[in-house]
Amino acid sequence: MRKILLAATILATMTGQALAAETIKIGVILGFTGPIESLTPDMASSAELAMKEVSDSGALLGGKKLESIRADSTCVDSAAATAAAERLITADGVAAIMGADCSGVTGAIASNVAVGNGVVMVSPSATSPGLSQLKDKDLFFRTAPSDARQGQVIAAILKSRGVSEIAVTYTNNDYGKGLSDSFQSAFTAQGGKISMVAAHEDGKADYSAEVGALAASGAKILAVFGYIDQGGKGMIQASLDSGAFDKFVLADGMFGDALTDAFGNDLNGTIATVPGAESQGAKTFSDMAEKAGITVGGPFTGESYDAAALIALAMQAAGSSDRAAIQSKMMAVANAPGEKINPGELAKGLKILSSGGEIDYVGATNVEFNKIGEVFGSYKEMEIKNGKYELISVR
Amino acid sequence: MTDILNALVLFSNFVLIPSLAYGSQLALGALGVTLIYSILRFANFAHADMMAFGTMVTVLGTWWLQSLGISLGPLPTALLALPFAILAAIGMSLLIDRSVYRFYRTKRSSPAIFVIASTGVMFLLNGIVRFIIGPNDQRFADGERFIIRAREFKTLTGLDEGLAIKVSQVLTVGIAVMLVIALFMFLQKTRMGKAMRAYSDNEDLALLSGINPERVVMITWIITAILATIAGTLYGLDKSFKPFTYFQLLLPFFAAAIVGGIGNPVGAIVGGFVIAFSEVMITYAYKKFFMYLLPQSMAPEGMMQLLSTDYKFAVSFIILVIVLLVKPTGLMKGKVV
């Protein structure tokens, strides 16, 4: 009896391995429940779009397929996210992880699970500057730029527009505080004056106290680093209602049509920055996404596609789906030199790599890693004119 | 002279008017909490979510009316939908009372059990509202937004400071005043109002003198449902409707009710305004205000802000703690169980 069991177990393990030889599993860990549950389905579909493209090409490591294993990061619960990542790595045996999404859980997964197991993690949306200091043994990459960069971009935009004094309000969390700090240091370094900084809490009943204090500082423009469906909107509404401010500077969390739909022409002259580029790659990606039924223009969809594509390309460059092998080639496929690869051209990239050539993956978001594996990032400068967002420039 | 006017306008625009509107919203909410507390003798944690439920019906009704092309001109359409929402909220309140609270009332359970039951009701309503309308922010205000805009006021008067008054602010304060007067008339003058006060003072004595307790309870739920729906709709018109924000309102409601003296209707109103004014007044930066009033040589250097706005919520709770230490029954004499 024992022998039969043993034989059966061995057989089962062997078939498992045989199957694994055909497909390579990639973990997709995003907050499918929690505060950003409305964004994550499109992000996951975008990543899976890249995986499907790679699988369909038949060129990956001699015709292997990629399989997506989804897991829930919850966005806010580090313990749950860590457990989910643990499961992906140990039970499902994923080759690499595309994720996570929110900065807090991403840091937790990276330091608790990914680094210890030597698994590459590519986050499409964690933007906290704090993640740059992570002791990640070069395993953590991100295709979304750090907010430290966004703060500098906003300061540069204001300089070019001749704004010398501004009041700042930020949502009281890692994202708001990090962005506000980087903006303040960049803005004061170029000689600007921050007349007042006041944090706001999300989901509160009334924001007239914050707006009153900010208005009293004498600044004419208010920078709002918050969320469009949370306190950030409350701050803007209270400012417009009392006539305290009618020009705002907004960061990515505040970008969206909900604001222009609600206030329209009252916001004319407001400036916003949002990650992204008007490149050929971005256009190709949005066409592809539309065909696949993904909401075009949703945040971090291009970044998600790029994250998954980079993992597949690194695998091909290394000639193996081994975890360490993937890590060794991440930088090489993302950066120059080599043939430029746009979305939809993954098959071409895979073929070049298999014939020993080099590629420089551009993707939907102009991917270019710096030496710690973070994209430099490009931002669109938008301005509200006649109640609608208009693109001014890309920085 | 213009300097004094400027200072006054500045103060009204950033402190007086917003706090007046916010205070009225809190007062209406605190009134509901305090009525349940004084008559049914428990802290109703589900009150803010009943507000969300009523407002949700208003929002849906407003959308329906808007789709039919019906509007009130300069006034928000929501006022037309409000009566239906009040009926829905009354129905829901009575249903909950029949199915939950009556069971504990006949058992004469302790107030603590009622509080826990109301927490359960809170989560239930929370879920129902999210299930029907979703967790997102909804805007349903239409019609004219401002009576006077800050910019118009400046050109009209030639002053440096603008004064903005919103339709929703005037509606809030106006309706709150009317509602409070109506409530007090009801409690003081009518037979039912007297019965309610008697029941609140001494339940057993009231029963002996032939007051029907179930009727008192029913009327109490009806009044609180009316208060909750109107307060919620006014708040939503002034800000916007988001279930989570409504849930968060529970805390300032209780703070207002307790500061004023829980169980005392006048106290609830006083408490609402104390909380609203203290949050705004203590954290306001008075630099510009004094620059208008004082001669140039004495112009203040700093922001003249007593506390950073970060401490806004601390302010109302510090007041709460002080009141409870110095006068445990609240500013107006409330009930202590």
pLDDT in tens, B129-162: 989 998 778 888 888 888 888 888 888 888 888 8
Residue A197 zone, left/alpha/beta (φ > 0; ψ -120 to 50; rest): beta
For domain A148-268, give the CATH superfamily. Answer: Response regulator (3.40.50.2300)
- A17-21, A103-107, A390-394, B227-231: least confident range: A17-21
CB contact under 8 A, A216 and B285: yes
Asked if residue A21 has pLDDT above 60, the reply is no
Residues of A in contact with B136 (CB under 8 A): 229
Query: Is B334 a member of any domain?
Result: no
Average pLDDT of chain B to the nearest whole number = 89
pLDDT at B273 over 90: yes
B241 pLDDT higher than 50: yes
- Whether B22 maps to a domain, the answer reads yes
Q: Do A229 and B303 touch (CB under 8 A)?
A: no
Residues of A in contact with B149 (CB under 8 A): 243
- Cβ contact, residue pair A203, B248, below 8 Å: yes
The 3-state secondary structure of A115-173 reads HHHCCCEEECCCCCHHHHHCCCCCCEEECCCCHHHHHHHHHHHHHHCCCCEEEEEEECC
Contact call for B248 and A217, based on CB within 8 A? no
Interface contact A243-B235, CB threshold 8 A: no
pLDDT band at A2 (very low <50, low <70, confident <90, very high): low
CB contact under 8 A, A208 and B280: yes
Phi, psi of B75 (to 5 degrees): -90, 155
Nearest by CB to residue A212, choosing from B14, B163, B235, is: B14
Q: Please report the pLDDT score of residue B112 as a whole number.
A: 92
CATH number of the CATH domain containing B44 = 1.10.3470
Label residue B20 by pLDDT band (50, 70, 90).
very high
Measure CA of the first residue to CA of the last residue in chain B; give whole Å: 53
Res A16: pLDDT = 46
By Cβ distance, the residue of B22, B245, B286 closest to A203 is B245
- Which chain B residues contact residue A208 at CB under 8 A? 14, 18-19, 22, 280
Q: Tell me whether residue B336 is in a domain.
A: no
On the question of pLDDT at B96 being above 90, the answer is yes
* Partners of residue B167 in chain A, C-beta under 8 Å: none
Given a cut of 70, whether residue B22 has pLDDT beyond it is yes
* CA dihedral over B81, B82, B88, B89, signed as positive or negative: positive
pLDDT at residue A261, as a whole number: 82
The mean per-residue pLDDT over the stretch A378-385 comes to 87
Binary contact (A241, B19; C-beta < 8 A) = no
Residue numbers in A near B287 (CB within 8 A):
216-218
Residue A20, pLDDT > 60, answer no
The boundaries of the domain holding residue B186 are 2-326
Mutate which of B14, B55, B279 to disrupt the A interface (most A C-beta within 10 Å)? B14
Q: A-side interface with B, Cβ within 8 Å?
A: 172, 196, 198-201, 203-206, 208-213, 215-218, 229, 233-234, 237-238, 241-244, 258, 262
- The whole-angstrom separation of Cα A81 and Cα A46 is 21
Indicate whether B223 pLDDT > 60. Answer: yes
pLDDT at B337: 45
Q: How confident is the model at residue A11 (pLDDT cuts 50, 70, 90)?
A: low
Residue A371, pLDDT > 70, answer yes
Whether this model's pTM surpasses 0.90: no
Question: B86 pLDDT band (50/70/90 cuts)?
Answer: very high
**Average pLDDT of span A39-51:** 92
Cα B142 to Cα A103, A261, B242, B321, distances in angstroms: 38, 13, 17, 40
Q: Domain tally for chain B?
A: 1
Using CA coordinates, name the residue in chain A closest to B137. A229
Tell whether the model's pLDDT for residue A10 goes beyond 60.
no
Percentage of residues of chain B with pLDDT beyond 70: 99
Cβ–Cβ gap A237/B239 under 8 Å: yes
Residue of A nearest to B309 (CA): A210
**Residue B203, in any domain of the structure:** yes
Token pair, residue B218, equals 């029913």
- Higher pLDDT among residues B173 and B332, named by residue: B173
- Give CA separation, B328 vs B39, B271, B324, in Å: 20, 14, 4
Chain B interface residues (partner A, CB cutoff 8 A) = 13-15, 17-19, 22, 25, 136-137, 139, 149-151, 162-164, 166, 235, 239-240, 242, 244-245, 248-249, 252, 276, 279-280, 283-289, 303, 305, 308-310, 312-313
Cβ pair A209:B309 closer than 8 A: yes
Report residue A6's pLDDT band, with 50, 70 and 90 as the boundaries. Answer: low
Q: CA of B289, closest CA in chain A: separation in Å?
A: 8
Mean residue pLDDT across chain A: 87
Q: What is the mean pLDDT of residues B212-217?
A: 91
Specify the pLDDT at position A80. 94
Range(s) within chain A of domains with CATH label 3.40.50.2300: 2-144+306-361, 148-268
Query: Is a pLDDT exceeding 80 seen at residue B224?
Result: yes
- pLDDT at B173 (0 to 100): 93
Mutate to test the interface with B, among A39, A172, A202, A208 (most CBs of B within 10 A): A208
Please state which of the ranges A36-40, A79-83, A85-89, B9-13 shows the lowest mean pLDDT: A36-40
- Percent of chain B at pLDDT exceeding 90: 48
Q: Are B142 and B119 in contact (CB under 8 A)?
A: no
Q: Which of A303, A301, A328, A304 is nearest to A316 (CA)?
A: A328
Report domain A2-144+306-361's class: alpha beta
pLDDT tens profile B138-147: 888 888 888 8
> Is the predicted pLDDT of residue B277 greater than 60, yes or no?
yes
